[in-house]
Amino acid sequence: MYVAGYLALDASSYIYPVVPLGITPWNPSAGLSLFLLLTCGRRFWPAVLIAAVAADVVVRNATVNAPMLTTAAFITGCYVVAATFLQRSWKVSAPLESTRDLVIFFVVASAASGTVAVMFVGLYAAIGMVSMRDMPLDVLRYWVGDLNGILVLTPALFSIRKIGNIGFAIRKLVSPEIILQLLSIGAALGLILAFAGDYPYRSFYALFLPLIWISARWGLPGAAVAQVIIQLGLITCVQLADYHAATFVQLQWLMTGLCVTGLTIGAMSSHRARLELALLDRQAALNRAQQFASAGEMTSALAHQLNQPMTALNSYVGACQIMVGQPILDAARLRDLMAKIEGEVRRSSEVVARLRDFYRRGATNLCPIEAGRLVDNVIQVLHRNAQSADVEIVSRPGEWSRRLLVDTVQTENAIQNLLLNAIEAMEMAGSKTRRIETSISVTQTSVEIRIHDSGPGVSAEMMAELFEPFHTSKADGMGMGLAIARSLVRASGGDLWIEPAAAGGACFVMRLPAPTSSDVLRA
Ligand code: ADP
C-alpha cells in the first residue's frame, strides 16, 4: 500500500522535473517515506528502497543501474537516520505538538533533505548527467522539493492518523467558519494568479493570513491540513499561469517559510489547548479534593458543635426521668425542663442547618445585634458549666451596646468555644483563681471582643498550630474548636487570634467588622 501511495504521489508531483532525473520542486513522496519510518519503524527501510527504485522505473522509465541503486540506497539511509533521530528526541507523545519537537523536526528535515539533495545531484553531476553549471540550482530545487514534501505531508499524515474517522470529522467540522477559511485561501491564491505575469512573489504573502488564522484556531492539525490545500492550490496556480521552473522553485522556498510559520503557530495553539485541558483536569481534581476535605471538616464540625447541646439534653432528660418517678409531680419544674429541652433541640437543628449552609455555599445570615448581647447570650448558656467548674465570668464595662452585623448563631458558637476552652483549661490545670474576663472595645472599623482567662495559658508547643485542625492537648479533644471558631468568625468578615497576656492566662481576641449605618439599614 505504501509503495502504491509512493508511486501515485511521485507520478502526480512529477512537474517541472530535471529530466530524466526525479528532481522536482515538490516531492511529497519524501514526506510519505518519513511518515512510514516514523510510525512503523526502521525495519520498513526495504519498502522505502523498493518504492524509490520502482518510482524511477515506472514514472521515469529509467533502467535499473548502479547510480540509481546507489542514490536510492543513500536516500533510504538518510531518511532512516532522520526518523531514528526524531523518534529518540521527540518528547511529547503527540508528535510535533510541542514547539521544541517541531524545531527538531524542522532542523532534521532540512538536514536530511539537504544531504540527500547534495549527494543525489553531486553523484549525477560526477557522472555527467547534470551539468556542473546547473548543479547549485538543481541542488536547491531538489532540496526545496524534498523539504516541502516533508514539511507539508508528514504533519498532515500525523494529523489524519490522529483524527481517525475522516468522513465523520469533515461532517462535524463543516461550518461557516471553515468555509470562510477555505474561501480566504482561495482568495489569496487568486491574488497570486492575478499577478501571474508580473511578480507572483508579491502576492504570496497574502497566504500567510488565512494560514495564521487557521493555525491559531485549529492548532497543528488545522495548520497541517491547510498547508496541503495551499500547496495543491499553489501548484494549480503555477500550472495555470505557466510559470518558469525557476519561479516555481522560488515560490516553493516561500512555501517553506509559510509551512514553518503555520506549523509553529499551530503547535503553539495545540500546546495551549493541551495546557488548558490539563489545567481544567487539575482544577476538577482540586475541587474533588476540596469537597472531600469539606465533608470531613463538616463532619468533625457537626460532631463538635452538637456535643454541647447533646450533653445538656442528656442531663435534662435524666432530670425529667427522676421527676416523673417521684410521688408528687412538680409540674412547673417539669415545664421549665421541657422548655430547656425544646431550646436545646432548636439550637441543635439551627447549628446543623447553618453549618450545612456554611459548608455548601459559605453562606452566612447577617443580622444586626448588640455586641454585648452576643457575649451575654453565651454566658447564659454556659452558666451551669462555669458554676460546676467554679469559674467566675465577669464582664468589664465597655462598648457593650455597639451594634454589629454578624451571623449570630455562628458568632455565638465561636464565643462559646472560647469560653468553654477557658473553663476547661482552668479546671484541668486546677487553677487557684478561676476567672474569665470578657471585654469589648471599638476601633474605627471594628469591634474587638476579648476573652481573657486566668488559667495556665497556651503551651509553647500548642501555640504554633493553635488554629490548625486536630491539634489538641486534651485526651478526649478533637482539636477542631478553634479552627471552626476562626472560620465562623472569618465568614462574618472578622478574625480571631490569641494575644500575649502580661497578667498570665490566655487572651483570645475576636475582631468583628463594625457596620456602617447604611449596612445596618440594608440588613
Ligand atoms: P479541643 O478543645 O478539642 O482541644 P480546640 O481547637 O478548641 O480543640 O483547642 C485546641 C487546643 O488549644 C486545646 O487542646 C488547648 O490545648 C489549647 N487551648 C485552647 N484554648 C485554651 C485556653 N483558654 N487556655 C489554654 N489552652 C487553650
How far, in Å, from the CA of 464 to the mean position of ligand 1?
Answer: 12
Q: pTM of this prediction?
A: 0.55
d(CA 55, CA 50): 8
How far, in Å, from the CA of 300 to the mean position of ligand 1?
Answer: 16
pLDDT value, residue 393: 95
Asked whether residue 251 is domain-assigned, the answer is no
How far, in Å, from the CA of 160 to the mean position of ligand 1?
Answer: 65
Asked whether residue 25 is domain-assigned, the answer is yes
Query: Could you say which DSSP state residue 205 is in?
Result: G
Band the pLDDT of 490: cuts 50, 70, 90. confident
pLDDT value, residue 476: 80
Atom of ligand 1 nearest to the CA of 455: 24
Higher pLDDT, 105 or 410: 105
Instruction: Report the CATH number at residue 92.
Output: 1.10.1760.20
Rounded average pLDDT over 105-111: 93
pLDDT value, residue 23: 72
Atom of ligand 1 nearest to the CA of 484: 6
Residue minimizing CA distance to atom 17 of ligand 1 = 458
Q: What's the angle, vertex CA 52, arms to CA 50 and CA 56, rounded to 5? A: 115
How far, in Å, from the CA of 351 to the mean position of ligand 1?
Answer: 21
Among the three residues 113, 142, 163, which one is the final residue of a domain in this structure?
163
Mutate which of 418, 436, 472, 489 for ligand 1 pocket (most atoms within 8 A of beta carbon):
472
Instruction: Report the CATH number at residue 488.
Output: 3.30.565.10
pLDDT value, residue 399: 80
d(CA 212, CA 197): 27
Q: Assess whether the C-beta atom of 455 lies below 6 angstroms from ligand 1.
A: yes
Asked whether residue 152 is domain-assigned, the answer is yes
pLDDT digits (tens, 9 = 90+) for 267-293: 899 888 888 887 776 666 555 555 555
Residue 521 pLDDT greater than 50, yes or no: no
pLDDT value, residue 372: 92
The number of domains in the chain is 2
Tell me: cis bond preceding 20? Omega within 30 of 0 counts: yes
How far, in Å, from the CA of 336 to the mean position of ligand 1?
Answer: 33
Range among 99-103, 177-181, 519-523 with highest mean pLDDT value: 177-181
What residue numbers bound the domain in which 135 lies?
A: 1-163
pLDDT value, residue 283: 61
d(CA 196, CA 275): 44
> Mean pLDDT over all residues of the chain?
84
Band the pLDDT of 510: cuts 50, 70, 90. very high
Residue minimizing CA distance to atom 9 of ligand 1 = 479
E-strand spans in 344-425?
A: 366-370, 392-395, 403-407
Rounded average pLDDT over 30-46: 88
Q: Assess whether the C-beta atom of 472 lies below 6 angstroms from ligand 1.
A: yes
Q: Assess whether the C-beta atom of 482 lies below 6 angstroms from ligand 1.
A: yes
Residue minimizing CA distance to atom 1 of ligand 1 = 479
Among the three residues 163, 185, 220, which one is the final residue of a domain in this structure?
163
Asked whether residue 355 is domain-assigned, the answer is no
pLDDT value, residue 277: 80
How far, in Å, from the CA of 396 to the mean position of ligand 1?
Answer: 23
pLDDT value, residue 101: 87
Residue minimizing CA distance to atom 23 of ligand 1 = 422
Range among 87-91, 158-162, 355-359, 362-366 with highest mean pLDDT value: 158-162
How far, in Å, from the CA of 373 to the mean position of ligand 1?
Answer: 24
Residue minimizing CA distance to atom 22 of ligand 1 = 422
pLDDT value, residue 523: 46
Phi/psi zone of residue 418: left (φ > 0), alpha (ψ -120 to 50 degrees), beta?
A: alpha
Higher pLDDT, 22 or 221: 221
Q: Assess whether the C-beta atom of 303 lies below 6 angstroms from ligand 1.
A: no
Q: Choose the weakest-confidence range: 77-81, 90-94, 129-133, 382-386.
A: 90-94
Q: Choose the weakest-confidence range: 230-234, 305-309, 343-347.
A: 305-309
Q: What's the angle, vertex CA 115, arms to CA 109 and CA 121, rounded to 5? A: 125
Rounded average pLDDT over 417-441: 94
Residue 320 pLDDT greater than 80, yes or no: yes
Higher pLDDT, 485 or 168: 485
- Contact of 241 with 204, CB cutoff 8 Å: no
Asked whether residue 14 is domain-assigned, the answer is yes
Among the three residues 143, 163, 183, which one is the final residue of a domain in this structure?
163
Asked whether residue 103 is domain-assigned, the answer is yes
pLDDT digits (tens, 9 = 90+) for 241-277: 877 777 888 888 889 999 999 999 998 998 888 888 8
Q: Assess whether the C-beta atom of 428 lies below 6 angstroms from ligand 1.
A: no
Q: Assess whether the C-beta atom of 67 lies below 6 angstroms from ligand 1.
A: no
Asked whether residue 140 is domain-assigned, the answer is yes
- Contact of 51 with 29, CB cutoff 8 Å: yes
pLDDT digits (tens, 9 = 90+) for 432-472: 999 999 999 998 889 999 999 999 999 888 898 899 877 88
Asked whether residue 461 is domain-assigned, the answer is yes
How far, in Å, from the CA of 422 to the mean position of ligand 1?
Answer: 8
Higher pLDDT, 371 or 165: 371
Q: 10 Å Cβ neighbour count for 429?
A: 12
pLDDT value, residue 426: 95
Q: Where does residue 260 rank: exposed (0-12), middle (13-18), buried (19+ CB within 10 A)?
A: middle
Residue 401 pLDDT greater than 70, yes or no: yes
Q: Assess whether the C-beta atom of 422 lies below 6 angstroms from ligand 1.
A: yes
How far, in Å, from the CA of 410 to the mean position of ligand 1?
Answer: 19
